Each structure stands twice: as C-alpha cells, then as structure tokens.
Amino acid sequence: VTAKTSSASAHRLLDRLEELGSVGATADGGVCRIALSDADREGRNLVRRWMGEIGLEVLVDQIGNIFGRYPIGDDSPAVMIGSHIDSVATGGKFDGNLGVLAGLELAQTFIERKIEFSRPIVVAVFTNEEGVRYSPDMMGSLVFAGGLSLDAALGSVGIDGTRLGSELERIGYRGDLPIGAIPIHAYVELHIEQGPVLEAEGTVIGAVEMVQGISWTECTIQGQSNHAGTTPMRLRRDAAWAACNIADFIHQLAGDMGGTQVGTVGRISLSPNLINVVARQAVFTVDLRNTDDARLSEAEKRFDAYARDLTQKAGMTLETKRLVRLPPVKFDDRIVALVEEASLSLGFSVKRMPSGAGHDAQMLAARCPAGMIFVPSVGGISHNVREFTKPEHIEAGLSVLERVAITLCIQGGPYSALSTL
Ligand code: HGY
Ligand code: MN
Ligand code: MN
C-alpha cells in the first residue's frame, strides 16, 4: 500500500494545542510548565495518554525523554519527529508543543489510513529543552545524542537548589529505556520561528539550515553592602552598579560586532536587595549567541575582559561559571532541500534561514540527518505569553511536515523523488 496523500487533521492538532496549553495555564493567557514541575508531569501524562490512545508504543528513557513508536516493537532505524513540552515561566502554547503534537497527529493519521511504513515513526518529547531551571538547555536531547553523560544530567542542581534526578523520580519519569536506545534514520522538528523574519517577508515556511552557537555564563560579583546615604561614592563597592555596567556592555558589544551577534542579561538577583543598602552581591546570567563560532568566542573574550577589568578596578571580586557552550550546528542539506521541495510542491513560499533559538534538532544532528520546519510567529514574539501562530500557518507547517515524513517513512513512496535519504 503506498501512502495516499493523507491529509492530517489540522483541527485535531489545534484542539490538542489548546488542551495541552491549558496545562500550566497562567492567568494572563500564557503557559508555565517548567521542566520537571508538577505542571510538566501533567503535560507529560496528557501526551503519554494520547500516544497510548492512538496506538503508539510508549517508551521512557533514563533522562525522562518520552518516545511514542509505531509499528510497536519495530526497532529498525526510525523517522523521529519531536520537540519539547516544557516551557519558560512566561511561555506560550506553541513553543515546542507544536512539534510534538504535529508528530502525534501524523502518527495518528498514518495509522488510521493504514499506511505501510518502510521505516517506523517515533514521536519524541525531550526533557528540559528550555534549561531555565536546570542548565544546559536542550538537556534531554543532548544526553540522548551522547553529548552529556546521564550522571552529569541527573546530578545537575537547579536554580531552586533541587537535584534533577530527584525531581525526575518525583514526577515519575525516570524511565528505564537505556539512553540512545532508539535507532534513528532521520529527525525532523516543526517549530515556530520565535522571531520576526518570516512574518516580515510574508513567507510561510522556513527551511532551517542551521542553529546558531550559544554561550551561557553565570556571574557572581561580590562588593560590600553599605549605607545608601552616608557612604561617599568613591568608597562604594556597589555590585548592582557593576552588574548594570556589564549588562550595558553586552548590549553595546552586540551592536559593535554586528552580524548575528546578540547578548542578553536575562536573570539578575541582588542582595540584600533593599532600597537603602548598597548591593553587596549581584548574581546574573549572560547569554551570547552568534551563527559564527569564532565571532562567538570573540564576544565571550571581550565580555570577560571587560567584566574582570571593571570589577577589579572597583575593588570587587568576579566569579564566572560557564553553564552552556554549544557551537553553531548545520543541518543535513538533504533534509533542508526536502523541506524546501515539499513546501514548493504544496505551493507554499519558503526560505532557507538560520535559527536564532536553540532546539532539540541541533542535538539530534549529531546522531542522524536532522532538520527543522519553521512557521511564522505573529509579531515575532516568543518566550512571552502573547506568543501566537495563525491556524493557517499551523496547517501549512503540518502539511509540509507530513510530506517530509511520508517521503522519509516510505521508501519508493509517492514523493520518494524528493529525497535521497
Ligand atoms: O534558549 C533557547 O534558545 C531555547 O529556547 N531553549
Ligand atoms: Mn522550543
Ligand atoms: Mn523556548
């Protein structure tokens, strides 16, 4: 039986996005499903239930990655379609969820239409993609791809002082499937762009060519607390002043370097954090990214030199801890071309582009040919409760993913001309 041009149901996908979006819903219309929280457990349980209902074999590995596989028990190299369902605290309904639920929708459609697979399909939910509680980000896929040991991941301590392994036990997702035990033929991830490019150009699909490099550093500046009124400015060792100067430097540096360089101070905490006390300590994070690895290293060096010089001259100490350093990752051009061809054959405008955000696909690229499909973000916003993608763009992304998946899952299928994979 060759694949009919089965049309997966965008309605069912949109309904599931709404239902999953109600788990960890916040009063302002957003989603807060921080990795390994109770809300994350609830979201995992919901997706796992759906996997069972549509007839997928559900497997959970030792870092809590969830896999739904069809045909059951078929451990030949699979076509994996996945993403994440954990969110930042001010998340939306689409980041990560779209890729998981689109994979689920395709699996359900293929099963309902009794499509005969040459390769199994696996829907993947990777643990802790956001990395906001436990770094690094893309942790579950990094461990799966062999880039981080299971012990190191289980031993990581969160910004709330909890240990990842204990939280994974607590929510009941410390599975026993050995890490990396699912052989993969190819990996594809549908994701919102989370930036302004597609919308600004009126393009429907992004054929993602690469993910930029990421550098996360946590800085701790020790100054001296003192009276805000009596202490002359020249005698102060004001950690807040130093941290703010570094944040401003990061901003200037990105402008200075140009190109794709970006820099963010996203998390900052002062102590004692009181109106009339000069801050003794500042703990803050620096997120630097660039599509070019050498330029990213240059940005790291310049930020480090500035911060050391500033704090040293002001009689303060600076401690830095590197939380993440990921090089840029290029996707296999056969997948990029397949996304492009599938989009064009469906009549959608498509552009090749880099990803500004990190994704699980960049980790899977170390294991197999991997790639991504982007759909536009309204207003280019994400990691914001107003994150939104139009239903017609969800539908377009789903049909491109479907055509890519059919091409990869069925050798000699209706679209095999599209791919040499
Ligand atoms: O940080 C990132 O780019 C991703 O959202 N984890
Ligand atoms: Mn994401
Ligand atoms: Mn995200």
Q: Of the bound ligands, which one is closest to the alpha carbon of residue 138?
A: 1
CB of 363 shorter than 6 A to ligand 1? no
Residue 88 CA: nearest ligand 1 atom is: 5
What does each C-alpha distance from 49 to 36, 45, 144 come to in angstroms?
18, 6, 23
Residue 3: the pLDDT is 40
Mean of the pLDDT values across residues 398-404? 97
Whether pLDDT at 412 is above 80: no
**Closest among 165, 31, 24 to 91, alpha carbons compared:** 31
DSSP code, position 129: S
Mean of the pLDDT values across residues 133-145? 98
Query: Residues with Cβ within 5 Å of ion ligand 2?
Result: 95-96
Residue 5: the pLDDT is 45
CA distance 188 to 405: 8
Amino acid letter, residue 275: I
Cα of 129 from ligand 3 centre, angstroms: 7
Residue 4: the pLDDT is 38
Mean of the pLDDT values across residues 209-238? 98
Residue 115: the pLDDT is 87
Mean pLDDT check: name the lowest of 331-335, 401-405, 406-410: 406-410
Cα of 385 from ligand 2 centre, angstroms: 14
pLDDT band at 410 (very low <50, low <70, confident <90, very high): confident
Tokens for 162, please give them. 């909890």
pLDDT tens by residue, 247-259: 999 999 999 999 9
Q: Of the bound ligands, which one is closest to the alpha carbon of residue 383?
A: 3
Backbone angles phi, psi at 39, to 5 degrees: -65, -35
pLDDT tens by residue, 339-384: 999 999 999 999 999 999 999 999 999 999 999 999 999 999 999 9
Report the share of the chain in percent with pLDDT over 90: 94
Cα of 403 from ligand 3 centre, angstroms: 25
Q: Which helix (H) or strand (E) holds 42?
A: helix 38-54
Mean of the pLDDT values across residues 110-136? 95
CA distance 171 to 168: 5
Provide the whole-model pTM: 0.95
What does each C-alpha distance from 406 to 106, 111, 113, 136, 342 come to in angstroms?
9, 12, 12, 33, 10
| Beta-carbon count within 10 A of 169 CB | 14
CB of 356 shorter than 6 A to ligand 1? no
Task: Answer yes or no: are the C-beta atoms of 92 and 29 closer than 8 Å.
Answer: no
Nearest CA to ligand 1 atom 2: 358
Q: Is 137 helix (H, G, I), strand (E, B) or coil?
A: coil
Nearest CA to ligand 1 atom 6: 130
CB of 193 shorter than 6 A to ligand 1? no
Task: Answer yes or no: are the C-beta atoms of 78 and 52 closer than 8 Å.
Answer: no
CA distance 43 to 84: 11
Cα of 41 from ligand 2 centre, angstroms: 18
CA distance 80 to 86: 19
**Closest among 150, 292, 258 to 139, alpha carbons compared:** 150
Report the share of the chain in percent with pLDDT over 70: 96
Mean of the pLDDT values across residues 183-207? 98
pLDDT tens by residue, 145-170: 999 999 999 999 999 999 999 999 99
Residue 418: the pLDDT is 65
**Averaged confidence pLDDT in the chain:** 96
**Closest among 409, 418, 369 to 110, alpha carbons compared:** 409
Cα of 344 vs its chain's centroid, Å: 27
pLDDT band at 416 (very low <50, low <70, confident <90, very high): low
End-to-end CA distance of the chain, in Å? 20
CA distance 124 to 65: 7
